[in-house]
């Protein structure tokens, strides 16, 4: 057993980026997640003999207690699993639209999108998937009883934990934002008598809810008193959720999408996420490009990624949605042939304006020939265990604290994931993402996501577990981590902690984080014809990579935020 903290002097110094960071190294398991308590919950399970899936379930329930902005019981998520025996599965516990949802539910009589209807209050809430998904993962791929894996979360809710500054700050912000949402303000903001940083935060209502789930499993949440109170809370705020909606919720085991990038196997989340398909298609578009003489975050580098990103996000707007409701041309969009056709008009010396990048049309899609054999406030965490099993989980309420509706008497928030549907063809959602028919609202349909839990493997062995929150920036964040490591040779902690930029086709703008682009490079890019805008709040990446020298695992929490990693 080993736990070593090492200071690495980063290679990226030579790239003009100061990133000297501590790494977390472990041979028997590593958990990297938003907060220390959640990491410790996972490590406790690993130490007691649980596998990475058991630990991931424990971390998820712990985050529902310690990170109420995004960790959840009333939301949904995706879990990507790569087992040491070669099995690869994706657990989809994305929220579903309620039975009474309909495509124009967020439009007024003259067909205009009604502000805030899809993001605040009852109509914003999709049927939560988390409890069902965690149960499915545990039953199929875990090795421990629910009773055991839920213990750390129940203890955290009952005994409380000292509120970190970032959480106390968020509660202060929520106190004003959630006016009218009395239960939310009672539970998280003590009716305006705010919790102070460092104060113990106990959640007796949530502990009661967790204990019920611990005892009765999925039925404890989707049936009986919790389900009844959930319907009541939805109705109180204008929602349409019914007991039937809850009873009929199903989580699914899906086949991950896969691709390759410079000899590495890339495994990611299939629909209803757009993340995996967009990520792999962007990697396919980048693969023919030579990075040897490209300087990191130079105009040339930013141009390469931005052009690739625009093309992938244009196709996302038309072709991606819930594959239980439409035929997503997945194999084609994942093919190298699609990537090369998509990049046919790419010119390394110029800008292709978003207005002249159209989503692929039917006949272009039909023209792609596949080789005969051919058979993506949220939070992300990564877990590995001593057997080589790896789990990558992204979970969310959508916006920070979701719909602001807290289930009365049960202590947990409900999502506002309905905003991830396209309320009206061609209109941007709150992340500026354009959607169309494929992502129109329908009863029981899952809204398109950008969450991109991803795992990279080499010769069948996991080398990187990665993912991020950040809405539409999730996919380009994961892309940049891979690009930083594979094409620029950065160690994982640098790849995670250097600044990032983002293009999503519309708006036709390169967004950049603090320090991501030098003033000189901005000038070059503007002269080329690019528009540039600063943007704060790129997602908290929590990654784990295989250590090349000692063979164990390096945990790489995102130090730009308050995230953590623990190893043993
Ligand atoms: O599923 C999605 O793509 C969004 N609901 C994720 C939201 C998100 O990442 C917000 N956080 N930063």
pLDDT tens for 56-78 read 999 999 999 999 999 999 999 99
Whether the Cβ atoms of residue 379 and residue 59 lie closer than 8 Å to each other: no
378 carries an active-site annotation: yes
With contact defined as beta carbons under 8 Å apart, do 146 and 429 qualify? Answer: no
Per-residue confidence (pLDDT) for residue 552, from 0 to 100: 95
Ligand 1: atom nearest CA of 470 is 12
Tens-place pLDDT, residues 300-343? 999 999 999 999 999 999 999 999 999 999 999 999 999 999 99
Beta strands at 378-385 and 501-502: parallel, antiparallel or unpaired: unpaired
Closest ligand 1 atom to Cα of 419? 5
Instruction: Measure 543 CA to ligand 1 centroid, in angstroms.
Output: 18
* 451 CB near ligand 1 (under 6 Å): yes
**pLDDT at residue 23, rounded to an integer:** 74
Q: What are phi and psi of 32, to 5 degrees?
A: -125, 120
566's enclosing H/E stretch is strand 564-567
State mean pLDDT over 127-137.
98
Under 8 Å between Cβ of 389 and 80? no
Ligand 1 binding pocket includes 396 (Cβ within 6 Å): yes
Residue 15 has pLDDT above 60, yes or no: no
Q: How far does the centroid of ligand 1 lie from the alpha carbon of residue 93, in Å?
A: 14
Distance 348 CA to ligand 1 centre (A): 32
pLDDT band at 562 (very low <50, low <70, confident <90, very high): confident
* C-alpha Rg value of the chain to the nearest Å: 22
Quote the CA–CA distance of 369 and 337 in Å, as a whole number: 7
Residue to mutate (ligand 1; options 451, 476, 558; most atoms within 8 A of CB): 451
Residue 76 Cβ inside 6 Å of ligand 1? The answer reads: no
Residue to probe by mutation, ligand 1, list 398, 416, 417, 467, most atoms within 8 Å of CB: 398
- Which ranges of 423-491 would DSSP assign to H, the alpha helix? 474-486
Counting ligand 1 atoms within 8 A of each CB, the residue from 321, 400, 431, 475 with the most, and so the one to mutate, is 431
CA distance linking residue 544 with residue 23, whole number of Å: 10
Burial of residue 364, with CB atoms counted within 10 A of its CB: 0-12 exposed, 13-18 middle, 19 or more buried: middle
DSSP per-residue letters across 227-286: HHHHHHHHHHTT----HHHHHT---EEEPPEEEEETTEEEEE--TTBSHHHHHHHHHHHH
Ligand 1 atom with minimal separation from the 474 CA: 9
CA of 374 to the centre of ligand 1 (A): 31
Both structure tokens of 353: 């304006």
């Amino acid at each position: 057993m080993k736990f070593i903290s090492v200071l690495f002097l980063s290679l990226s110094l030579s790239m003009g980026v100061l990133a000297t960071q501590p790494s977390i190294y472990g041979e028997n398991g590593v958990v990297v997640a938003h907060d220390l308590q959640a990491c410790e919950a996972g490590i406790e399970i690993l130490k007691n003999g649980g596998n990475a899936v058991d630990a991931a379930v424990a971390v998820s329930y712990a985050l529902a207690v310690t990170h109420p902005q995004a960790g959840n019981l009333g939301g949904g998520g995706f879990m990507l699993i790569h087992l040491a025996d070669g099995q690869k599965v994706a657990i989809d516990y994305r929220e579903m639209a309620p039975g009474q949802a309909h495509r124009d539910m967020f439009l007024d009589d003259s067909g205009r999108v009604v502000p805030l209807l899809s993001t605040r209050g009852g109509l914003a809430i999709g049927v939560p998937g988390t409890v069902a998904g965690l149960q499915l993962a545990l039953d199929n791929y875990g090795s421990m009883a629910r009773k055991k894996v839920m213990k750390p979360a129940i203890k955290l809710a009952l005994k409380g934990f000292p509120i970190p500054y970032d959480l106390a700050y968020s509660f202060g912000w929520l106190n004003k934002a959630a006016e009218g949402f009395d239960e939310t303000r009672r539970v998280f903001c003590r009716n305006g008598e705010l919790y102070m940083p460092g104060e113990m935060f106990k959640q007796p209502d949530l502990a009661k809810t967790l204990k019920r789930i611990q005892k009765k499993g999925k039925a404890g949440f989707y049936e009986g008193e919790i389900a009844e109170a959930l319907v009541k809370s939805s109705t109180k705020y204008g929602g349409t959720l019914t007991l039937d909606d809850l009873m009929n919720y199903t989580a699914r085991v899906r086949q991950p999408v896969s691709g390759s990038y410079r000899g590495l196997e890339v495994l990611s989340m299939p629909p209803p996420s757009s993340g995996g398909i967009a990520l792999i298609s962007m990697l396919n578009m980048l693969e023919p490009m030579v990075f040897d003489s490209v300087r990191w975050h130079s105009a040339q580098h930013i141009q390469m990624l931005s052009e690739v990103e625009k093309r992938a996000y244009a196709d996302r707007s038309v072709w991606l949605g819930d594959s239980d409701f439409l035929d997503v041309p997945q194999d084609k969009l994942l093919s190298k042939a699609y990537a090369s056709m998509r990049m046919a008009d790419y010119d390394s010396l110029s800008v292709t304006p978003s207005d002249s990048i159209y989503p692929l049309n039917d006949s272009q899609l039909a023209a792609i020939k596949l080789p005969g054999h051919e058979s993506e406030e949220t939070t992300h965490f990564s877990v590995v265990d001593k057997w080589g099993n790896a789990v990558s989980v992204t979970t969310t309420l959508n916006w920070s604290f979701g719909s602001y509706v807290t289930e009365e008497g049960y202590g947990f928030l409900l999502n506002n994931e309905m905003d991830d549907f396209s309320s009206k063809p061609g209109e941007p959602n709150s992340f500026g993402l354009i959607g169309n028919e494929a992502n129109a609202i329908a009863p029981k349909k899952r809204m398109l996501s950008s969450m991109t839990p991803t795992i990279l493997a080499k010769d069948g062995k996991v080398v990187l577990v990665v993912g991020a929150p950040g809405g539409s920036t999730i996919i380009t964040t994961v892309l940049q981590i891979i690009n930083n490591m594979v094409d620029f040779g950065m160690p994982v902690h640098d790849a995670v902690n250097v600044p990032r930029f983002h293009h999503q086709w519309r708006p036709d703008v390169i967004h950049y984080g603090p320090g991501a682009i030098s003033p000189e490079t901005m000038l070059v890019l503007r002269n080329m014809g690019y528009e540039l805008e600063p943007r704060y709040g790129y997602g908290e990446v929590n990654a784990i990579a295989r250590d090349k020298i000692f063979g164990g695992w390096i945990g790489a929490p995102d130090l730009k935020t308050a995230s953590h990693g623990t190893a043993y």
